[in-house]
Amino acid sequence: MALVGKLEGGDIGVVIGYFVLVLGVGLWASCRNRGSVGGYFLAGRQMHWIPVGASLFASNIGSGHFIGLAGSGASSGIAIAVFELNAIFILLILGWIFLPVYISTGIFTMPEYLKKRFGGVRIRIYLAVIALLLYIFTKISADLYAGAIFIEQSVQLPLYPSVIILLLFAAVFNILGGLTAVIWTDFIQTVIMLIGASYLMITSFVELGGYENLVTRYFQSLPKTGRYLNFSTFQNPVPNKYFDCGIPDKNAMHFMRSSSDTNLPWPGVIFGLTISSIWYWCTDQVIVQRALAAKNLTFAKSGILLCAWLKMLPMWLIVFPGMASRVLFTDEVACNIPEECKRICGKEKGCSDVAYPKLVLEILPTGARGLMLAVMLASLVSSLTSIFNSASTIFTFDIWQRLRKSASDVELMIVGRVFVLVMVAIGIAWIPIVQSSNELFHYIQSVTSYLSPPICAVYLLALFWKRCNEKGAFIGLMSGLVIGLSRFFTEVAYPPKPCGEENIIPSVLSKVHYLHFGILLFGITLIISVTSSLLTAPMDRRHTDGLLFWNCRKEYSKREVDKGTENPCYENDFEVDAKKYIDVTKGSNLPLPWYRKAINWVCGIEDLKNAKDQPVLTAQELEEIQKLQNSIQEDPKWKLVVNTICLTLITITIFYWGFYA
């Protein structure tokens, strides 16, 4: 007999055990690398490749994936898995092209790289603000909504109380631990996710009699109640106005679809998706921050390869179970009458989002249900802690430091933690917009396609084209922003109608798929940036030497780079770091009251008071340490091993893609 909602005592025990395990690991990890900016935000750049790879995967696979991928699989088949397979190739681009440049420049954040590349601050601040907005629109609110669906279905708590409880847990955990705690708990959560999701996948296939039966029955899974007249069998049903909405897509088992397909047209999949993926995997703070935390470039590449191998799994662990859920619970998951859907899941536009929770709660035994609830909580907390940490990093270094140039380490760490609470409040406020979407995963990708292509274009120009200057990049970004926001707000103003009701929307929405729009936006930004750069003066050498893919391995002295410049934008980070280190070592030996000690511990600054007893490093000594951390030299033997594994992965992925194309 259920004790809470649909959960029994064994389920609740598993969930509690999960929280104890993860919290214990987090608190253990939080005792490492918390008392410095580099430790809190980049885990001291000493992480092993296994937790780095697991953290990359866990940061990406949130509750939005479990709800969104499974829901899209239930409604339209396996095509949604192209987002996962595309990510494999883009991850390799991150490791072999983007990351060497990032590491050699010694950056903390992605906007910081463009600041060094172009000078000035307006591009850096603009990208920081856009990144934070994208976190709100596509990550925090979407993951919260997805996690709340599962909690609502299983524990039967209202939406917002569930959201607030999960948010507080994730926020407090992130505030206490920093990136070290986030990465280590991501590792634990990845293991839990893989075990739980694999068990559910196997149970689903067994329930339906295997893969072939799943595919066959999927195409027969037509919702019955109220959808057809004279519906006693699947033969010759007489349709009503909701008929088309209840029929599975005839291309459900194919990745590549017609260019006019309303879900995933092939030009958008090949080109538009690649543009958005480069922004996400190669320039987004949440992802790149984890790679930068690795011990060296080889460890970072190894972690990226581990994540890339794991990205082959979501199609089997999430998409196929979503299809199985439609087969087993057709009337609920595939409902297409607004009134019926409202009764089942609270949404008039369809209930495909409940596919995964429905499967978990109905076919798994006691204990296993609790394990899968723990899996969902793991994915949600993992994604939220990753986003909170990265968002606080961007705000602290790219915005707050511009306002408070003399801010100490203590102030920066406190500000980063307080900003997490701000993100919590904004994320909750945006949830109703996410609720109004038809399918969660398509909502996330559509918003990304409206805002990320200009950023992708500018990063590629910055990395590969020496002639691109700050004016050209900024004009391109502003032009792309205006065009992208126009489409974004138009879509918000014309939300999709429930199935069977006429959609009266502008042709820019109905005829131009969001992935196709991303291609156009990328091209327009590229043309504007290139033209503007050619019409204005080129950049000084200090903004190109050592900052492009072609020359990031070349040694440059600061004197050579700054030669002939009167007012260099280049900042000597080593001297700044040395000054900050000396500043925070100035303190008093007077004992602190208990409440002040508690506050210092929460903020990760409990060791700073004793820093004055430690040897003070000079600017030259800090520079030598920094050079070691920023080195991109690799052991030839391990470089060969990593490259061989990379080529093997590419070959298998191409075969995998071709098999289902």
Residue 512 or 278, more confident: 278
Return the top range by mean pLDDT from 48-57, 314-323, 443-452.
Answer: 314-323
Q: Is the pLDDT of residue 313 over 80?
A: yes
Distance CA 353, CA 336 (A): 13
Confidence check: pLDDT of 160 > 90: no
Exposure of 457 in the CB half-sphere (CA atoms within 13 A):
29
Comparison of pLDDT for 85 and 224, the residue scoring more: 85
Q: Which residue has the higher pLDDT, 174 or 65?
A: 65
Q: What are phi and psi of 583, to 5 degrees?
A: -60, -45
What's phi and psi for 228, nearest 5 deg?
-135, 155
Work out whether the CA dihedral 291, 385, 580, 44 comes out positive or negative: negative
Distance between CA atoms of 188 and 126, rounded to whole angstroms? 35
| All domains of the chain in start order, with CATH | 9-227+246-500+511-553 (1.20.1730.10), 573-625 (no CATH)
Tell me the pLDDT tens digit for each residue of 465-510: 999 999 999 999 999 999 999 988 888 777 766 665 666 677 667 7
Averaged pLDDT of the chain: 77
| Average confidence (pLDDT) over 327-342 | 83
What pLDDT was estimated at residue 613? 47
| Average pLDDT over every residue of 163-171 | 69
Collapse the DSSP code of 229 into the 3-class scheme (helix H, G, I; strand E, B; otherwise coil) and give the result.
strand
Q: How far apart are the first and last CA of the chain?
A: 46
Share of the chain above pLDDT 70, in %: 73
pLDDT score recorded for residue 325: 93
Q: Position of tokens 């065009």?
A: 483
Read off the pLDDT band of 623 (50, 70, 90). low
Strand partners, 228: 239
Q: Give me the pLDDT at residue 471, please.
A: 94
Give yes or no for residue 45 having a pLDDT over 60: no
**Three-class SS of residue 553?**
coil
Would you say residue 242 has pLDDT above 90?
no
pLDDT confidence bin for 315, thresholds 50/70/90:
very high
Band the pLDDT of 305: cuts 50, 70, 90. Answer: very high
Identify the CA nearest to 476 among candidates 517, 528, 523, 522.
528
Predicted confidence band of residue 562 (pLDDT cuts 50, 70, 90): very low
Task: Please determine, for residue 412, whether its predicted confidence score (pLDDT) is greater than 90.
Answer: no
At residue 34, does pLDDT exceed 50? no
Beta carbons within 8 Å of 500's beta carbon, 6+ residues apart: 241, 242, 245, 336, 337, 338
Q: 444: which residues sit within 8 A by CB, 6+ positions away?
A: 64, 68, 138, 139, 142
617 CB burial (10 A radius; 0-12, 13-18, 19+): middle
Q: Which residue has the tokens 């009458």?
A: 337
Q: Which of 21-30, 74-83, 338-347, 643-652 has the lowest mean pLDDT?
A: 21-30
Lowest mean pLDDT among 76-85, 161-170, 360-369, 564-573: 564-573
Residue 652: its H or E element: helix 636-660
Query: What angle (nearest 5°) sits at the alpha carbon of residue 340, between those of residues 338 and 344?
Result: 115
- At 25 the pLDDT is 67
- pLDDT tier for residue 226 given thresholds of 50, 70 and 90: very low
* The pair of three-digit structure tokens given for residue 288, joined into one six-digit string: 């790149």
**Over 70: is that where the pLDDT of 636 sits?**
yes
More confident residue, 70 or 409: 70
Would you say residue 419 has pLDDT above 60? yes
pLDDT value at 570 more than 60: no
Identity of the residue numbered 437: S
**Mutual angle of helices 141-154 and 409-435, in 10-degree steps:** 60
The CA-atom distances, in angstroms, between 541 and each of 56, 302, 533 are: 34, 33, 15
Reference 56, options 297, 281, 377; nearest CA is 281
416-to-131, 578, 660 alpha-carbon distances in Å = 15, 21, 45
Contact 569, 119 (CB under 8 A): yes
Question: Residue 213: pLDDT above 90?
Answer: yes
Q: Which two tokens stand for residue 449?
A: 């396609």
For the segment 206-215, the average pLDDT, to the nearest whole number, is: 92
Residue 577 scores a pLDDT above 60: no
pLDDT for the residue 89:
95
Predicted TM-score of the model (pTM)? 0.81
Residue 236's alpha-carbon distances to 99, 103, 229, 230, 232, in angstroms, are: 57, 63, 10, 9, 10
Q: How confident is the model at residue 581 (pLDDT cuts 50, 70, 90)?
A: very low
Beta bridge partners of 132: none
- Dihedral angle sign, alpha carbons of residues 280, 281, 284, 286: positive
CA-to-CA separations, 422 to 34, 209, 407, 467, 646, in angstroms, rounded? 21, 49, 20, 39, 40
Give the residue, 633 or 390, on which the prediction is more confident: 633
- On the question of pLDDT at 639 being above 70, the answer is yes
Q: Pick the residue with more confidence: 568 or 550?
A: 550
- Looking at residue 349, its pLDDT comes to 74
Mean per-residue pLDDT for 310-330? 93
DSSP per residue, 242-285: TTGGGSPPTTTT-S---TT-SS--HHIIIIIHHHHHHIIIII-H
The answer to whether residues 427 and 141 touch, using CB atoms and an 8 Å cutoff, is yes
> What pLDDT does 555 receive?
67
Give the mean pLDDT of 211-216.
92
Least confident of 167-181, 429-443, 621-635: 167-181
Neighbours of 647 (CB within 10 A): 10
191: tokens are: 């293991």
Tokens of 512: 């131009």
Question: Per-residue pLDDT tens for 188-204?
Answer: 777 888 888 899 999 99
Cα–Cα distance measured from residue 539 to residue 533, given in angstroms and rounded to the nearest whole number: 9
Query: In this structure, are residues 574 and 619 in contact, taking their beta carbons and an 8 Å threshold?
Result: yes
Give whole-number Cα distances, 630 to 87, 107, 108, 374, 634, in Å.
26, 9, 11, 38, 12
Tell me the sheet residues that pair with 239.
228
Across 81-85, 526-530, 544-548, least confident range:
544-548
Identify the band that residue 27 occupies on the pLDDT scale cut at 50, 70 and 90. Answer: low
State yes or no: pLDDT of 11 exceeds 90: no
Poorest-confidence range of 14-18, 291-295, 319-323? 14-18
Lowest-pLDDT choice from 66-70, 438-442, 639-643? 438-442
Confidence of residue 626 (pLDDT cuts 50, 70, 90): low
Please, are residues 73 and 319 in contact by the beta-carbon 8 Å criterion? yes
Residue 99 identity (one-letter amino acid): L
Beta bridge partners of 4: 7
Q: Which neighbouring-strand residues pair with 294?
A: 47
Give me the amino acid identity at 486: S
The C-alpha atoms of residue 437 and residue 402 are separated, in whole angstroms, by 37
Give the Cβ contact number of residue 550 at 10 Å. Answer: 12
pLDDT, position 469: 94
pLDDT tens-digit map of 78-131: 999 999 999 999 999 999 999 999 988 888 778 788 888 998 788 878 888 888
- The type of residue at 651 is T
Question: Which residue would you say has higher pLDDT here, 450 or 180?
Answer: 450
Residue 338 above 90 pLDDT? no
